[in-house]
Amino acid sequence: MFKEFKEFAMRGSVLDLAVGVIIGAAFGKVVSSLVDDVLMPPLGKLIGEVDFSSLYINLSGTHYETLAEAKAHGAALSYGNFINTLINFLIVAFSIFLLVRSVNRWMPKPPAPVTTKDCPQCAMAIPVAAKKCGHCTSAV
């Protein structure tokens, strides 16, 4: 059983997945830092330091001064943190989009697929799927 597990764990796809998860977690921290430390402060200044985290719907008839007080009494449907998380997600997703887009520009373009080959008899270009040469009619 141990030998079988070792074979499973040492497959290339499992190791690639493990490396991808580890790098993804580290990349997530980098992107979160980019959003929290670099993008959000100027964006907060631009939109007037709006903080949605204290927004909630009071589920009882009693008035509460703060979200914490309403939560303590179980009378709050807090939607402000959801809005903050949603905005954070959109900024992170857009940042990742920009990063992937720029990395894709650095990658070399894949070569064009081969669509023709040379006939061994007359050396003329013929389609790859051809069974006979259209120029000399020899079997390919």
Q: What is the CATH number of the domain that holds 96?
A: 1.10.1200
Return the structure tokens found at 43.
């964006």
Beta bridge partners of 78: 56
pTM tops 0.85, yes or no:
no
pLDDT at residue number 56: 80
Same domain assignment for residues 124 and 137: yes
33, 60: one domain: yes
Q: Are residues 107 and 121 in the same domain?
A: no
Q: Report the pLDDT value the prediction gives residue 122, as an integer from 0 to 100.
A: 87
Counting the structural domains of the chain, the total is 2
Q: Has residue 133 got a pLDDT over 80?
A: yes
Q: Residue range 50-62: average pLDDT? A: 77
Q: Where does the pLDDT of residue 12 fall: very low under 50, low under 70, confident under 90, or very high at 90 and above?
A: low
* Chain centre to alpha carbon of residue 47: 27
Q: Which domain holds residue 130?
A: 112-140
